[in-house]
Amino acid sequence: MSKVTETTTQRLWVSDNGDVTCDDHAGMYLRCAIEAKPNAKKHKTPLDNWSMYFTHLLGGENLVCETCVPWDSPNHPYNKIKADVQ
- For residue range 56-86, what is the model confidence (pLDDT) as tens digits? 665 555 678 888 877 777 777 766 666 665 5
Is 50 a member of any domain? yes
Domain contains 3? no
Q: Is 25 exposed, middle or buried (0-12, 13-18, 19+ CB in 10 A)?
A: middle
One-letter amino acid at 44 equals: K
How many domains, the chain?
1
Q: Give the end-to-end CA distance of the chain in Å, rounded to a whole number.
A: 35
CA angle 66, 1, 74 (to 5 degrees): 35
In a domain, 6, yes or no: no
47 neighbors 27 (Cβ within 8 angstroms) = yes
* pTM value > 0.75: no
Does 1 map to a domain? no
Structural domain range at position 40: 11-85
Mean pLDDT of 38-66: 84
In a domain, 5, yes or no: no
